[in-house]
């Protein structure tokens, strides 16, 4: 008889261990409790001041956070500026050029304050994750816990953005694939799209729906005619002024609520992808649920954001705590 030195539970525990996403298992909500006790307070105070004076900050940060996390994980690679050594940083990918200046600005301000309070301790990726949650809550959205301890990336590559981000002209099949390949469900995808309840979209993203739509129709017939007429007025000079934009949620653009889902069911969504959400049999029942039950949307959004916030995080030697969010601590080889 062999003398088994390991109890039978060992293989089960081992299997459980290897099935856990190891890097995200290292994160916890109290990560800075001893090393930077004022972390939460510093983020919260800066967020309040910035959002009060610049209401575009909340949607701007939310969009930046999504673009960063879905590309290569939540690692602040989107904050790095291009240099002679790294000429095509993620921030300069075409899909990221319209990201909000207010979003970059508030992260720099928070990071500077943290470097004075506890130098070299808090990562830029943790600042982005915490600031996003606080801003969502500040504009009326749900609270969700933010686990901390992410490290900042050692790589920032614009080419990875196009591979990862969905675009407004994709088919629903292609959009769904962008999420499922990253291990997000269709329901989580629809919940995350609810972030369109705040903020605005530049006219060029939906101009094909309101100008020269087809040989037989100037506007997309699936768009509500009154909305189309209003958008044509707002966007008439968009080719000469690319900053022209319209609110995503025409009813309550500054409040985080479920109005976006109610809007898309009435043909009041700006983007073709909004229209597809409301008609595709895989997404329509979820849109209808969120349109009538804000609590269900908030619960699902909070869970999906919690999951997104630990997607592809770097820990240990796989990353660093940048001194400045827009540059690596060392010039990459």
Please identify every residue annotated as catalytic: 67
90 is in an annotated binding site: yes
Token pair, residue 129, equals 């994750």
Write out the DSSP string of 156-190.
--THHHHHH---TTS-HHHHHHHHHTTT--HHHHH
156 and 86 in contact (C-beta within 8 Å)?
yes
**68 annotated to a ligand binding site:** yes
Residue 197 labeled ligand binder: yes
* Rounded Cα–Cα distance for residues 185 and 310 (Å): 16
**Is 75 a known ligand-binding residue?**
yes
249 is in an annotated binding site: yes
Nearest partner of 308 among 199, 164, 156, judged by Cα: 164
Q: Buried b vs exposed e over 211-249: b needs ≥16 C-beta within 10 Å?
A: bebeeeeebbebbbeebbeebeeebeebeeeeebbbbbb
**What Å distances lie between residue 142 and 227, 279, 292, CA to CA?**
29, 27, 17
User: Which residues are paired to 246 by β-bridges?
Assistant: 201
Q: Is 220 annotated as a binding residue?
A: no
162 is in an annotated binding site: no
Has 73 been labeled as part of a binding site?
yes
115 is in an annotated binding site: no
Q: Is 222 annotated as a binding residue?
A: no
Q: Which residues are annotated as a binding site for Ca(2+)?
A: 68, 73, 75, 77, 90, 197, 249, 257
Q: Which residues are annotated as a binding site for heme b?
A: 196
Q: Which residues are annotated as a binding site?
A: 68, 73, 75, 77, 90, 166, 196-197, 249, 257
């Amino acid at each position: 008889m062999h003398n088994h030195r390991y109890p039978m539970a060992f293989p089960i525990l081992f299997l459980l261990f290897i099935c856990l996403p190891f890097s995200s298992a290292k994160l916890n909500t109290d990560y800075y409790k001893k090393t930077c006790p004022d972390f939460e307070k510093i983020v919260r105070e800066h967020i309040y001041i910035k959002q009060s004076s610049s209401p575009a900050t909340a949607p701007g940060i939310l969009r930046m956070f999504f673009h960063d996390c879905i590309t290569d994980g939540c690692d602040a690679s989107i904050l790095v500026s291009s240099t002679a050594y790294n000429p095509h940083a993620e921030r300069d990918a075409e899909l990221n050029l319209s990201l909000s200046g207010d979003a970059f600005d508030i992260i720099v301000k928070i990071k500077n304050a943290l470097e004075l309070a506890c130098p070299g301790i808090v990562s830029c990726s943790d600042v982005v994750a915490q600031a996003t949650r606080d801003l969502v809550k500040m504009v009326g959205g749900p609270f969700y816990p933010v686990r901390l301890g992410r490290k900042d990336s050692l790589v920032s590559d614009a080419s990875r953005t196009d591979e990862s981000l969905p675009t407004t002209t994709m088919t629903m099949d292609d959009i769904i694939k962008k999420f499922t390949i990253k291990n997000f469900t269709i329901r989580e995808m629809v919940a995350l799209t609810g972030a369109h309840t705040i903020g605005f979209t530049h006219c060029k993203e939906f101009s094909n729906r309101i100008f020269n739509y087809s040989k037989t129709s100037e506007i997309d017939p699936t768009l509500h005619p009154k909305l189309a007429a209003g958008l044509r007025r707002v966007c008439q000079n968009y080719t000469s002024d690319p900053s022209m934009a319209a609110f995503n949620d025409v009813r309550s653009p500054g409040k985080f609520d479920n109005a976006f889902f109610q809007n898309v069911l009435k043909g009041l969504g700006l983007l073709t992808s909004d229209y597809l959400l409301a008609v595709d049999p895989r997404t329509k029942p979820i849109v209808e649920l969120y349109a009538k039950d804000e609590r269900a949307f908030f619960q699902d959004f909070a869970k999906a954001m919690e999951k997104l916030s630990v997607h592809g995080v770097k820990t240990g030697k796989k990353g660093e705590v940048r001194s400045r969010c827009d540059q690596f601590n060392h010039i990459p080889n």
